[in-house]
């Protein structure tokens, strides 16, 4: 129900004021900003007048309580109707206290910790004046060449959906009018941005509607079911039409079918990009298509400002379309309490207290511990305090461990690996060995010197943060050549080598796996990264992280993901021919490390998989149970996973689909039974005509420590 206030504002607003309300500009446009009011370069080309700025509805990238208050104050003086601005920014995995990147958080399988990280991010952002975060990013990802995989929680629709919900809860809380420590969330990028062809950013996406619904939509829907206030359009095409001008996607699917009634914002410049996409002749046509699709806010281009008035006046656009967009934006302002309290959480004093609070750093450390994945360990880990350690590599003493989206994070305040290890080790020799992409003989010699003095070598390798993230795509996803050389040179010393990786994507580890004794995937672990890793490397904490995205053997397998389909000629079938099966002649079909994989310092034994019944009717549930025993000597937390395969559907069905998981703490020697409940609803899928239902027939259930090493049992669904 639109309130009287909003109805009255709408009546008073001129068409120009309404259109400006639909425009989002960056901080430098605003006089109240410290660098404000002086527009140069490409921003000047937007041709935005001062009058438009005074009437805009939202700001991109403003933060800092003092600055935001000043922008808002100046704006309220100049805006005829006193409509406050919405301050939006990308608070993706922390504001100043930086948590691990989302792909790492995905590997924690810990939705409670994820929720807490978003709550802390919201608290720090809100006190700095931010009202809306452009997060969570929930695009399903299967291609590690795409630089933005680090922004996603991974390749599984169910796991992504669980995280999508957790992030939204953490950002928004229960009542944003009263809880000013929260921010509104904006789920992105709708839709299927993660499926860019060839893993090249912004590239064409072309997939069946079934695939879209089955794999890509669930996480966006989950965020919206949780009450996410906003949606951002994707840069890519869906069914041949750029998402930002795609009426079917935005009106029919998002608004009508999913029932989303909040604010839809374009991605940066995406309205105007309909011209190079080749679906709009000019800005005017681009503006019309975006409005018709229901895009309420145009981010950082000015097609609305320059053309919507004309479109309305010539009768090509109904003014009701403009009104509905304005109403949605004003409603969000109302929900955030901005009419009563335009400065909302922005508070210079509290900002000092809250930002980088010790509790926040503690939470960031805990999540970094849970997000790192032990990929290989031939027994050299955990390190012993009495061992002399050579810490070598470009990430030995680097603060570039926050990831490409840590906009406000400070590399200077990040705990480097060296700082962390120093706390634990009795003797540590450090050498850079090489830069990330270049090196020298001198650096290499320094590394050899350090290595010679040590009992064990910790090699901190990886990608610098610009090598992933937006427009950070790579065709070769190995470590840069110079780092591989560093590793093989160090190997000649004959000492045990532990590789710790800092990177934003699953890598091709050719030249690494065989050369070392242990591999820790640290991702970009955030502000407390070095401290968390030191605890893990010395066994003061145990590894529990499991991959939420497969690691390929080589880039030639990509995309390689666990929930793929069989073929008519699967590899390894009992009657398979030698040649005419679906396989490569030179590389395996399977990934190097599958979805769900990760080691720890203890071992777990799975036994006794049981299903409560061999049959199930739609109104019954099944209980699937499995015993898990900690057979090692250290306490740990095992992520027990349950998958299902529909053996014969109307359309092909994935070989495995994650249906549930549990994080199970186990002391050495402890054995516990984990029970999962399976309902008929979890067996539904999209049929030929896209109806969503289950079929009678046989299903296989799997349980295990990852998607590969599972036990199985079968049951029949009766209808
Ligand atoms: C990115 C979005 C981001 C926006 C605003 C775009 O380039 O694709 O993810 O939210 O910029 O910073």
How far is C-alpha 343 from the geometric centre of its chain's CA atoms? Answer: 29
The answer on pLDDT for 43 being more than 80 is no
Q: Locate the DSSP E strands across 11-104.
A: 23-26, 58-60, 86-89
CB-ligand 1 contact for 139 (6 Å cutoff): no
Q: What whole-number distance in Å separates Cα of residue 524 and Cα of residue 512?
A: 19
Q: What whole-number distance in Å separates Cα of residue 378 and Cα of residue 602?
A: 13
CB-ligand 1 contact for 90 (6 Å cutoff): yes
Give nearest CA residue, ligand 1 atom 12: 90
Give nearest CA residue, ligand 1 atom 10: 134
Give nearest CA residue, ligand 1 atom 11: 268
- Of 143, 267, 400, 535, the catalytic one is 267
If you measure from the C-alpha of residue 398 to the centroid of ligand 1, how many angstroms do you get, rounded to a whole number? 26
Structure confidence by residue, pLDDT tens digits, 608-643: 999 999 999 999 999 999 999 999 999 999 999 999
Taking the CB of residue 608, how many other CB atoms lie within 10 A of it?
12
The answer on pLDDT for 1 being more than 80 is no
If you measure from the C-alpha of residue 269 to the centroid of ligand 1, how many angstroms do you get, rounded to a whole number? 9
Structure confidence by residue, pLDDT tens digits, 356-386: 999 999 999 999 999 999 999 999 999 999 9
Q: What whole-number distance in Å separates Cα of residue 427 and Cα of residue 59?
A: 51
Residue 499 buriedness (CB in 10 A; 0-12 / 13-18 / 19+): buried
If you measure from the C-alpha of residue 299 to the centroid of ligand 1, how many angstroms do you get, rounded to a whole number? 9
pLDDT given at position 220: 98
CB-ligand 1 contact for 407 (6 Å cutoff): no
The answer on pLDDT for 207 being more than 80 is yes
267 is known as an active-site residue: yes
Give nearest CA residue, ligand 1 atom 4: 268
pLDDT given at position 525: 98
Provide CB contacts within 8 A for 576, sequence distance 6+. 569, 570
CB-ligand 1 contact for 188 (6 Å cutoff): yes
Residue 275, token pair as written in the block: 């011209």
pLDDT given at position 240: 98
pLDDT given at position 377: 98
Which element (helix H / strand E) includes 164? helix 157-172
pLDDT, averaged across the chain: 97
* Of 269-273, 362-366, 576-580, 660-664, the least confident: 576-580
Position in ligand 1 atom list of the atom nearest CA 134? 10
The answer on pLDDT for 45 being more than 90 is no
What value does the CA radius of gyration of the chain take, rounded to a whole number of Å? 26
If you measure from the C-alpha of residue 387 to the centroid of ligand 1, how many angstroms do you get, rounded to a whole number? 46
Structure confidence by residue, pLDDT tens digits, 577-594: 788 999 999 999 999 999
User: DSSP states of 580-595 as a string?
Assistant: SSS--SSS-SS-SB-T
Assign domain 604-717 to its CATH architecture. Sandwich (2.60)
If you measure from the C-alpha of residue 267 to the centroid of ligand 1, how many angstroms do you get, rounded to a whole number? 6
Q: What whole-number distance in Å separates Cα of residue 171 and Cα of residue 168?
A: 5
232 CB-side CA count, 13 A: 27
Q: Does domain 356-556 have CATH number 3.30.450.20?
A: no
What percent of the chain has pLDDT above 70? 100
pLDDT given at position 37: 74
What percent of the chain has pLDDT above 90? 96
Residue 16: band (very low, low, confident or very high) from pLDDT cuts 50, 70, 90: very high
Please choose, from the candidates 210, 191, 360, the residue with its C-alpha nearest in 3D space to the C-alpha of residue 264.
Answer: 191
Which element (helix H / strand E) includes 323? helix 319-335
If you measure from the C-alpha of residue 358 to the centroid of ligand 1, how many angstroms do you get, rounded to a whole number? 30
Q: What whole-number distance in Å separates Cα of residue 23 and Cα of residue 13?
A: 15
Stretch 47-72: mean pLDDT:
96
Q: Do 356-556 and 604-717 fold alike per CATH?
A: no
CB-ligand 1 contact for 151 (6 Å cutoff): no
Q: Which residues pair with 502 in a beta bridge?
A: 462
Structure confidence by residue, pLDDT tens digits, 208-244: 999 999 999 999 999 999 999 999 999 999 999 999 9
Residue 332, token pair as written in the block: 């969000």
Q: What whole-number distance in Å separates Cα of residue 471 and Cα of residue 476?
A: 15
Q: What whole-number distance in Å separates Cα of residue 716 and Cα of residue 646?
A: 10
Please choose, from the candidates 434, 425, 424, the residue with its C-alpha nearest in 3D space to the C-alpha of residue 462.
Answer: 434
The answer on pLDDT for 41 being more than 80 is no
Length of the chain: 719
Give nearest CA residue, ligand 1 atom 7: 268
CA distances for 160 relative to 87, 218, 613, angstroms: 27, 8, 30
Q: What whole-number distance in Å separates Cα of residue 224 and Cα of residue 239?
A: 22
Residue 399, token pair as written in the block: 């603060």
CB-ligand 1 contact for 470 (6 Å cutoff): yes
Q: What whole-number distance in Å separates Cα of residue 503 and Cα of residue 500?
A: 10
pLDDT given at position 39: 76
pLDDT given at position 36: 79
The answer on pLDDT for 40 being more than 80 is no
Stretch 331-356: mean pLDDT:
98
User: DSSP states of 501-554 as a string?
Assistant: EE-SS----TTTGGG-SEEEE--S--TTHHHHHHHHHTTSS------SSPBPSS
If you measure from the C-alpha of residue 470 to the centroid of ligand 1, how many angstroms do you get, rounded to a whole number? 8
Q: Scanning the structure block, which residue is given the tokens 């802390």?
A: 120
The three-class DSSP label of residue 58 is strand
Q: What whole-number distance in Å separates Cα of residue 523 and Cα of residue 528?
A: 13
Position in ligand 1 atom list of the atom nearest CA 232? 10
Q: Which residues pair with 86 in a beta bridge?
A: 58
Residue 297, token pair as written in the block: 């806010």
Q: What whole-number distance in Å separates Cα of residue 344 and Cα of residue 506?
A: 40
Give nearest CA residue, ligand 1 atom 8: 267
Domain ranges of the chain: 356-556, 604-717
pTM score of the predicted model:
0.98
Helix and strand numbers (H, E) in the chain are: 21, 26
pLDDT given at position 35: 80
Cβ contact 615:716 at 8 Å:
yes
Position in ligand 1 atom list of the atom nearest CA 189? 9
CB-ligand 1 contact for 268 (6 Å cutoff): yes
Structure confidence by residue, pLDDT tens digits, 91-135: 999 999 999 999 999 999 999 999 999 999 999 999 999 999 999
Q: Locate the DSSP E strands across 382-440.
A: 388-392, 427-431
Q: Which residues pair with 88 in a beta bridge?
A: 60, 132
């Amino acid at each position: 129900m639109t309130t009287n206030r909003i109805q009255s504002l709408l009546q008073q607003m001129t068409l120009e004021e309404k259109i400006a309300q639909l425009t989002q500009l960056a901080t430098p446009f605003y006089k109240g900003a410290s660098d404000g009011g002086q527009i140069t370069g490409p921003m000047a080309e937007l041709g935005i007048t001062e009058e438009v700025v005074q009437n805009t509805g939202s700001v991109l990238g403003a933060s800092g309580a003092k600055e935001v208050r000043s922008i808002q104050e100046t704006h309220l003086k100049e805006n005829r109707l006193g409509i406050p601005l919405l301050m939006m920014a990308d608070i993706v995995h922390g504001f100043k206290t930086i948590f691990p990147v989302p792909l790492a958080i995905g590997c924690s399988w810990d939705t409670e910790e994820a929720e807490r990280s978003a709550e802390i991010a919201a608290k720090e952002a809100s006190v700095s004046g931010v009202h809306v975060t452009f997060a969570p990013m929930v695009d399903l990802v299967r291609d590690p060449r795409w630089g933005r995989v680090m922004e996603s929680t991974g390749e599984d629709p169910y796991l992504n959906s669980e995280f999508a919900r957790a992030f939204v809860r953490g950002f928004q809380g229960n009542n944003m009018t009263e809880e000013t420590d929260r921010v509104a969330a904006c789920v992105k990028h709708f839709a299927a941005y993660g499926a860019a062809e060839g893993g090249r950013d912004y590239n064409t996406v072309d997939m069946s509607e079934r695939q879209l619904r089955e794999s890509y939509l669930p996480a966006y829907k989950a965020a919206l079911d949780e009450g996410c206030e906003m949606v951002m359009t994707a840069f890519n095409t869906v069914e041949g039409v750029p998402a930002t001008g795609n009426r079917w996607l935005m009106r029919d699917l998002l608004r009508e079918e999913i029932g989303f009634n909040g604010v839809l914002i374009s991605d940066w410049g995406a309205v105007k990009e309909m011209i190079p996409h080749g679906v709009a002749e000019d800005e005017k046509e681009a503006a019309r298509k975006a409005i018709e699709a229901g895009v309420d806010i145009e981010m950082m281009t000015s097609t609305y400002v320059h053309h919507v008035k004309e479109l309305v006046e010539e009768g090509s656009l109904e003014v009701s379309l403009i009104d509905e967009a304005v109403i949605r934006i004003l409603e969000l302002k109302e929900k955030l309490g901005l009419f009563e309290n335009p400065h909302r959480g922005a508070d210079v004093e509290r900002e000092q207290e809250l930002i980088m609070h010790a509790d926040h750093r503690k939470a960031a450390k805990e999540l970094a511990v849970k997000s790192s994945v032990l990929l290989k360990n031939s027994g050299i880990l955990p390190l012993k305090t009495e061992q002399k350690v050579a810490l070598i590599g470009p990430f030995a003493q680097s603060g570039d461990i926050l990831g490409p989206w840590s906009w406000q994070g400070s590399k200077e305040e990040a705990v480097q690996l060296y700082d962390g290890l120093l706390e634990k080790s009795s003797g540590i020799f450090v050498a850079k060995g090489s830069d990330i992409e270049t090196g020298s003989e001198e650096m290499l010699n320094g590394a050899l010197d350090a290595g010679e003095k040590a009992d064990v070598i910790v090699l901190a390798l990886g990608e610098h943060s610009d090598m992933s993230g937006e427009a950070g795509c790579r065709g070769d996803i190995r470590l840069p050549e110079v780092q591989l050389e560093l590793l093989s040179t160090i190997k000649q010393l004959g000492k045990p080598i532990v590789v710790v990786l800092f990177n934003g994507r699953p890598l091709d580890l050719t030249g690494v796996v065989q050369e070392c004794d242990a591999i820790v995937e640290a991702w970009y672990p955030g502000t407390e990264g070095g401290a968390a890793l030191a605890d893990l490397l010395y066994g003061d904490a145990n590894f529990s992280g499991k991959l939420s995205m497969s690691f390929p053997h080589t880039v030639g397998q990509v995309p390689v993901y666990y929930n793929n389909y069989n073929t008519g000629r699967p590899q390894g079938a009992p009657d398979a021919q030698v040649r005419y099966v679906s396989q490569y002649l030179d590389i395996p079909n399977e990934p190097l490390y599958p979805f769900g994989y990760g080691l720890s310092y203890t071992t777990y034994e799975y036994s006794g998989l049981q299903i409560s019944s061999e049959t199930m009717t739609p109104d019954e549930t099944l209980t699937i149970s499995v015993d898990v025993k900690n057979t090692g000597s250290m306490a740990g937390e095992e992520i027990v996973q349950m998958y299902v395969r529909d053996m014969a559907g109307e359309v092909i069905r994935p070989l495995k689909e994650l249906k549930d998981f549990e994080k199970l703490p186990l002391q050495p020697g402890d054995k516990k039974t984990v029970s999962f409940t399976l309902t008929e609803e979890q067996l539904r899928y999209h049929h030929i005509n896209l109806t969503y239902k289950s079929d009678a027939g046989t299903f296989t259930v799997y349980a295990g420590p990852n998607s590969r090493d599972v036990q199985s049992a079968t049951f029949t669904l009766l209808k």
